[in-house]
């Protein structure tokens, strides 16, 4: 199967698939005309990576997951450990975004947002504490 086809079926842009080949995540065969030729197995890997990426795993984590996936003798605990570590990172990101959200929406709430130059948001960024009441 050509790259265009593989792209549609895996949900990955052709450019991305070429990039994945370049970094050694997948190694499709080549047809006589030089076109990449993807087997069902390659397609499977691509979809696997697509899902893992969409869950926020890095490329290197995807590589590790792929090799666990290919390893018939893996221990599921290895996978679970990786997944949990990743879950922790997700949790941290969420925490930090929630903190940003809280701070910023507080500032936005205080800002009257009219034509006057007085602006609690800028004051907040400048380190001036706005009056509480």
> Which of 24, 118, 131, 133 contacts a copy of itself by CB under 8 A?
118
Segment interacting with a copy of itself (CB under 8 A) among 1-9, 12-20, 27-35, 103-111: 103-111
- Total residues at the site for DNA (CB under 7 A)? 20
Q: Work out whether 15 is an interface residue with DNA (CB under 7 A).
A: yes
Cα–Cα separations (whole angstroms), residue 75 to 22, 69, 82: 29, 10, 12
- Total residues at the site for a copy of itself (CB under 8 A)? 53
Instruction: Identify the sign of the CA torsion 60, 72, 2, 48.
Output: negative
Q: Work out whether 47 is an interface residue with a copy of itself (CB under 8 A).
A: yes
Alpha-carbon span 46 to 66, nearest angstrom = 10
Instruction: Name the CA dihedral angle for 92, 96, 101, 103, rounded to a multiple of 10 degrees.
Output: 150
Q: Work out whether 52 is an interface residue with a copy of itself (CB under 8 A).
A: yes
Using an 8 Å Cβ cutoff, are 36 and 73 in contact?
A: no
Using an 8 Å Cβ cutoff, are 50 and 26 in contact?
A: no
By CB under 7 A, the residues from 24 to 43 that bind DNA are 32-36
Q: Closest separation between CB of residue 20 and DNA, Å? A: 7
**Interface ranges with DNA (CB under 7 A):** 2-5, 7, 13-16, 18-19, 32-36, 53, 58-60
């Amino acid at each position: 199967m050509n790259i265009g086809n593989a792209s549609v079926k895996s949900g990955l842009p052709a450019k991305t698939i070429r990039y994945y080949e370049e970094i050694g995540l997948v190694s499709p065969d080549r047809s006589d005309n030089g076109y990449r030729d993807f087997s069902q197995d390659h397609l499977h890997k691509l979809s696997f990576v697509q899902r893992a990426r969409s869950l926020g795993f890095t490329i290197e984590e995807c590589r590790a997951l792929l090799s666990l996936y290919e390893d018939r003798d893996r221990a599921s605990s290895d996978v679970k450990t990786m997944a949990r570590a990743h879950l922790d990172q997700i949790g941290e990101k969420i925490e930090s975004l929630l903190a940003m959200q809280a701070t910023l929406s507080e500032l936005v709430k205080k800002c009257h947002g009219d034509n006057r130059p007085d602006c609690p948001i800028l004051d907040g960024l400048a380190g001036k504490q706005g009056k509480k009441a």
